[in-house]
Amino acid sequence: MISSIKLIITKLASKPKNIFLLDSIGAFITAFLLGFVLAKFQDAFGMPQTILYFLSALALVFAIYSSCCYYYVTTKWRSYLYPIMIANVLYCCLTSGLLIYYFHKLTILGLIYFILEISIIICLVVIERKVQRDRVTK
């Protein structure tokens, strides 16, 4: 498991723009799931629909930013990666706060979804940081 993670980091570090592609795909998936799937089946998850739409819009902004970075950034990519890392961490903090605030409304399915989402994003941030750091040292 650890060797496969190191392999992923090595591959991403060799072509650092791919981290933006990975981030944008994940953010587009999040935006779709929140804005269409969870919002449509809001009763099954428990999070208010307005919150789901807000989080979806936020994820869409992140997806567009990362996509633009992937397609247009050729040099100084580190300065573009740092804001998305910070945004991802702040998104996780916001989502955690919303989990606490709306805990009484959330279903088990809702809790599982948001905890998994936060876990995946934090893993992505760790990978982004390692890619950023590995490229600095090389």
| pLDDT score recorded for residue 48 | 97
The conformational region for residue 69 under phi > 0 = left, psi -120 to 50 = alpha, else beta, is alpha
pLDDT digits (tens, 9 = 90+) for 74-115: 888 889 999 999 999 999 999 999 999 999 999 999 999 999
Q: Which amino acid is at 95?
A: T
Direct distance between the N- and C-terminal alpha carbons of the chain, in angstroms, rounded to an integer: 24
**Are 38 and 52 contacting, i.e. CB atoms less than 8 angstroms apart?**
yes
Whole-number pLDDT of residue 138: 46
Is residue 62 scored above 60 in pLDDT?
A: yes
**Of residues 18 and 104, more confidently modeled:** 104
Tokens of 67: 């996509």
For residue 47, what is the DSSP state? S
- pTM comes to 0.89
Residue 12 predicted with pLDDT over 80: no
